[in-house]
Amino acid sequence: MLDNGQKREKLVEVSDLKMHFPIYAGLFRKHVGDVKAVDGVSFDIFDGETLGLVGESGCGKSTCGRAVLRLYDITSGSVKIGGREIGATPQGDLRKMRPTMQMVFQDPQASLNPRMTVEGIIGEPLSEHTDLDRKGKLAKVHELMDAVGLNRAFSSRYPHEFSGGQRQRIGIARALALNPKFIVCDEPIAALDVSIQAQVVNLLEDLQKKLGLTYLFISHDLSMVRHIADRVAVMYLGKIVEVSPRDALYSDPLHPYTKALLSAVPEPDPDVTTDDRVILQGDVPSPSNPPKGCNFCTRCPAVMDICHENEPEFREVSPGRFVACHHHNETTN
C-alpha cells in the first residue's frame, strides 16, 4: 500500500499540543482550574494520507482538530503545517494561511449561515482570498458543486432547503473552494443517515485521490475509520494513547484502551461468541481533574501499581507504532 517503504513528507507536525479551558468559580470569578480537553498531544500527518482520530465522546477529538487549525488560541505546544509554525501566530496573520487548511464541520445544519445562499457560502472565501470577478467566481462555484455532486441549479437556494447529506456536500465544497492541502474532517458523517454516510465518505476518498488532499478524519465510528484511514490515532481523556498503521491497529491493538474500544464494535454474525469482550467499568474521569499517573488507570483491566504513580511515556515500540502504556515500556526495556 501507499505507506509501505517509501518515506513521505510530513505535512502536519503536532507536538505537545495543549488546549486548556479555564474554569472560573466563586463570587469573584476566580480561576480555579482548567478543563484539559487536549493535554499534550503529538502526532504527524504525512502528505496525502488520512489519519483517523478516534475515541469516545468527550475525549477531546473535536477540540484537537480545531486546535490544530488554530480555531482556538492554544494553551501551549507547536503546530507546523507545510513546514510553517502556526502555534503562536496571531489570528490576523493566520487568515492569509487559511486557504491551505480547511475544515469540514460536524453539524451541516448549524455550520452554514442560514441567511446565505449556497453560492454565497461557497463563494465567500473566493472573494476574500482571490481576485476573481463575479463571473469567474460563479464558474468556480459551479465547478465545486459539480465536484461534490450537487446540481448547479441549486446555487441560489438556502441551506435549509437541502437534506442533511446535501448540506454536508455544501460544507465540503466550501472547504475545497480555496484548493486546500489539509482538511480536518470533524465527524463529517456523524449527523448523517447510514446510507448517506457511505456516499459522503466515498466522495471524500474520491476528492483525496483527485486533488491529493490530506485528511485528519475525526470520528467515533471505528468501522468507518477502518475504511478511510491509512493510520489511526486513539485518544483518551485529552491524550493520544496509541498511533498505528490501520491494519496493525485493527489486527493487533497494543494499548488496553484500544483493545476495549475494538472489542466493543458490533459483531454482525450472531453465531460468533461475544463473551471475550473487554467491558470497561465506570466512567471517564473528569478532564478538569484527571487521575494521577496514567489517565486510563481508573478503568484499565490490566492495571499495575506503577500506572497509579507514573505517567507512561508515549514512545515508538515497533516501526511506525506508538503507544503510551507501561506494559510496553517494560517489553522494550
Chain residues binding another protein by CB under 8 A are 66, 69, 71, 91-92, 94-99, 102-103, 105-107, 110-115, 124-125, 128-129, 158, 160, 171, 174, 178
CA dist 142 and 22 (Å) reads: 44
Minimum Å gap between C-beta 121 and another protein is 8
Instruction: Please count the other Cβ atoms lying within 10 Å of the Cβ belonging to residue 282.
Output: 7
Burial of 72 (0-12, 13-18, 19+ CB in 10 A): middle
C-alpha cell, 36: 484539559
CA dist 247 and 142 (Å) reads: 38
Minimum Å gap between C-beta 107 and another protein is 6
Residue closer to another protein, measured from CB, 57 or 113: 113
Burial of 85 (0-12, 13-18, 19+ CB in 10 A): exposed
Minimum Å gap between C-beta 21 and another protein is 14
**Residue found by looking up cell 510553517 in the block:** 84
Minimum Å gap between C-beta 98 and another protein is 3
Residue closer to another protein, measured from CB, 8 or 96: 96
**Residue found by looking up cell 478532564 in the block:** 287
Minimum Å gap between C-beta 132 and another protein is 15
Residue closer to another protein, measured from CB, 113 or 151: 113
Minimum Å gap between C-beta 188 and another protein is 13
Residue closer to another protein, measured from CB, 167 or 246: 167
* Contact between residue 298 and residue 289 where contact means Cβ atoms under 8 Å apart: no
Residue closer to another protein, measured from CB, 7 or 134: 134
Residue closer to another protein, measured from CB, 183 or 300: 183
Q: What share of the chain is helix, strand, coil (3-state, %, to 5)?
A: 35, 25, 40
C-alpha cell, 145: 458543486
